Amino acid sequence: MRPLEDVRILAIEQYGAGPFASVHLADLGAEVIKIEDPASDGDVGRYVVPQQHGEDSLFFETFNRNKRSLSLGIATPEGRAVFEDLVKVSDVVHSNLRGDVPAKLRIRYDDLKHLNPAIVCCSLSGFGMTGPRSAEPGYDYILQGMAGWMDLTGEPDGPPTKSGLSLVDYSGGLVAAMSMLTALHAARRDGVGGDCDVSLFDTAIAMLTYPAAWLLNGDFVPKRTHHSAHPSLVPFQIFPTADSWLVVACPKEKFWARLAAAIDRPEWATDPRFADFAARRENSEELQELLTGVFGTRSAAHWLSVLGSAGVPCGPVNSVAEALAEPHTSARNMVVETEHPYFGTVRQVASPVRVGNEPPEYRRAPRRHEDAGYVLGDLLGYDAERIAALAASAAFGGVPTDVDVPSAAQPFATAEPQE
């Protein structure tokens, strides 16, 4: 039995942060039922280019494997009734909407506790459900700017720079996943659920960590550093070599002594200018210039071999393709495959969350409304007549023509995972 096989999550989610939160839980066995708004043709991630076809894309596949899909307008009376029945048999309602929307949709704990006192309601929004910005949309790029991340990224004489990845979205998703599991643990212990008010803004501010503490308690001013250098530890940065770049890190004094010996400059280890953390920070520009001169004489492969053999933390600056081709990537099973009716064999990165020895199972992301038969028939026990009435109402909206909606003439879909 997989770790979260006894957990059911209703996910009113779209695009990146929210689906990133729940995909890790789905990989661990949780049943994640995506409630997709028919008014917007489902999750907007379905339409992200490149490599997009119809109502699916590789972007959507990345964030929604191992999930189920139900097209349901919960703002309609008919759709709301279905949603409330699902709340009764679920553990978590997870959403990533603007901070003021959960109240409008009535998906907070106080709105749902009469249906299920143990329900956990997790809202992941840009700015949270309270505060002066709660009604504003929040996106990763905006949050990286607002939270000071861009001011710390890039060269000192260059412009503020965004990370190459949507790290606020992904970090917020992981915080939401942790919040859901924590609240679910308490709900199962106490029989009472509650709200999780998670925001991308809070997440981004919290990740300022020690630079924020230095600023709040002294005269330290966080700023961009040359060649992505650590703000206090020297050397701890990228260096150009004769053919590419490498990262060298000396977060302990022993590593600096090893580095000095490995590059045939053993006297630097005891040189008063570089003898300890404080001295190297005080003379960082001089030391960085000296090291740059040394590393520029040979290839990255040469220095990685020399430093690695000496026990100095170091690594290459890989391209994405090189990172995925790293032998350790394969050894850790970090690239997995699913089969898709249009894209064929889809290779994507795995979740890094590992629990126990049983390997995760992976199946493709669902087509919109693909699991209507299972959710409505097998899970909720609706008969064919009721499902037909719902299909005739506005509850499901327009659904893809190649996805069957069970009716009086159609049997329910099975509950088996659809490969």
Per DSSP, helices labelled H in 7-127 are 17-27, 58-64, 77-88, 101-105, 109-112
For 36, 111, 171, 272, the CA distances from 99, given in Å and listed in that order, are 18, 16, 18, 55
Task: State whether residue 31 is helix, strand or coil.
Answer: strand
The DSSP output letter for 126 is S
Distance between CA 202 and CA 124 in Å, rounded?
Answer: 11
Q: At residue 315, what is the residue type?
A: G
Q: Is-contact 117 193, C-beta < 8 A?
A: yes
Q: Is-contact 359 44, C-beta < 8 A?
A: no
Distance between CA 315 and CA 187 in Å, rounded?
Answer: 44
Phi, psi of 144 (to 5 degrees): -60, -35
Q: Which of 230, 302, 328, 369 is catalytic?
A: 230
Task: Identify whether 226 is a catalytic site residue.
Answer: no
Burial of residue 124 (CB within 10 Å: 0-12, 13-18, 19+) is: buried
Burial of residue 13 (CB within 10 Å: 0-12, 13-18, 19+) is: buried
Q: Is-contact 375 90, C-beta < 8 A?
A: no
Q: Is-contact 25 9, C-beta < 8 A?
A: yes
Q: Which residue is associated with the tokens 């006297």?
A: 267
Strands (E), 112-267: 120-125, 194-199, 236-240, 245-249
Distance between CA 339 and CA 350 in Å, rounded?
Answer: 15
Per DSSP, helices labelled H in 311-392 are 320-325, 327-331, 372, 384-392
Give the residue numbers marked as catalytic: 230
